[in-house]
Amino acid sequence: RSEQQRRDAFPDWLHTYNHHRGHTALKGQPPASRVPNLSGQYT
């Protein structure tokens, strides 16, 4: 991959990692589930 391709792919990867991928340290929950009111989640 080129550097530009890597940069272009990073935002989607980061979103998936933080919002959809379960983490064993969080009992299978994504990190975003631990942040209160993330993006107005609890309005």
Q: pLDDT tens string for the chain (43 positions)?
A: 799 999 999 999 999 988 889 888 888 888 888 776 656 555 5
Domain around 22 = 3-32
DSSP state of 20: T
Residue 24 belongs to a domain? yes
Check residue 43 and report its DSSP letter. -
Q: Is 37 a member of any domain?
A: no
User: What is the predicted pLDDT for the residue at 37?
Assistant: 62
Q: Is residue 43 part of a domain?
A: no
pLDDT for 12 equals 94
pLDDT of residue 26: 86
Q: Is residue 12 part of a domain?
A: yes
Please count the structural domains in the chain: 1
Give every CB contact of residue 15 below 8 A, 6+ residues apart in sequence. Answer: none
Cβ contact 23:15 at 8 Å = no
In a domain, 25, yes or no: yes
